[in-house]
Structure 1
Amino acid sequence: MHFKPVSLSLALAGLLLAGCSSTDKATEPKAAAPATESSSSAAAPSFTGSCDSSAVASFVGKKADGALVEQAQRQSGAETARVLRPHQPVTMEYNSRRLNIDVDDAGVVKQLSCG
């Protein structure tokens, strides 16, 4: 069987392009999500892996600084926490082990929820 150089080149190019495709799940783009997300590498004593936002309801009205975010994450039992600012793009996937801390323009906590 004799192959023409053009068809052999096209076949080779097709194989090379097929090797470049990816089947990995897309990850959340870091540049598009400026939310502050915290994750503990060492589990805190109160870590349960499931989030309970009612345990941190008393944080509403307080300034959301780093210490508050860590404390809220620990007390809620959440695996991760993120601060959500007004008009900020965020991913909408539900994560039962994540604490969402909604703040106003001044960084004051308006609402805490899991998901």
Structure 2
Amino acid sequence: MSLKLITASAALAGLVALAGCAAPGTPSTGSSPMPPPPPGTACNAEGAQFAVGQRAAASTVEEARQRSGSYMARVLWPKQVVTMEFNAQRLNLDVDATGVVQRVRCG
């Protein structure tokens, strides 16, 4: 066999092996998209104001999410890098360095 044929065969074998790693129909980023939120799940931060001054434990975050009527909630730490797009169905809980909720807002 010539060197070109061996190199081409090895490259083809590598591509075939890599193709087997991806399941058909999965996004190339490796993450699955979230299902669309149900209608009527707009956030109202007034319902979650009770959380200000409390630690951002999972139970507190979930209760705040439910009381605000939002579809999802996230805890934002000081200097944390976050996406800035506005999402009317998301509750944001801004916490201090110790994890105590300082501010509750939608977006």
Normalising to structure 2: TM-score of the pair?
0.63
**What residue in structure 2 maps to residue 72 of structure 1?**
64
Q: Which runs of 5+ in 2 are unaligned?
A: 1-28
Structure 2: distance between partners of 1:83 and 1:49: 19
In the TM superposition, what is the alpha-carbon distance from 1:58 to its structure 2 partner?
A: 1.7
> Which residue does the alignment assign to 1:63?
55
Cα distance, 1:111 vs structure 2? 0.3
Q: CA shift at 1:102, angstroms? A: 0.2
> What CA distance in whole angstroms lies between the structure 1 residues aligned with 2:40 and 2:50?
20
Instruction: Show the counterpart of 2:46.
Output: 54
Aligned-pair distance for 1:48? 3.9
CA–CA separation in structure 2 for the residues paired with 1:75 and 1:103: 18
Alignment length, in residue pairs? 73
- Identical columns (%): 44
Unaligned runs of 5+ in 1: 1-26, 30-38
Alpha-carbon deviation of 1:59?
1.1
CA RMSD of aligned residues (A): 2.3
Q: Does 1:92 align with 2:84?
A: yes
Q: Take 2:89 and 2:45, find their aligned partners in 1: how far apart are those partners?
A: 11
1:85 and 1:65 map into 2 onto residues whose CA distance is 13
Q: Distance in 2 between matches of 1:61 and 1:68?
A: 11
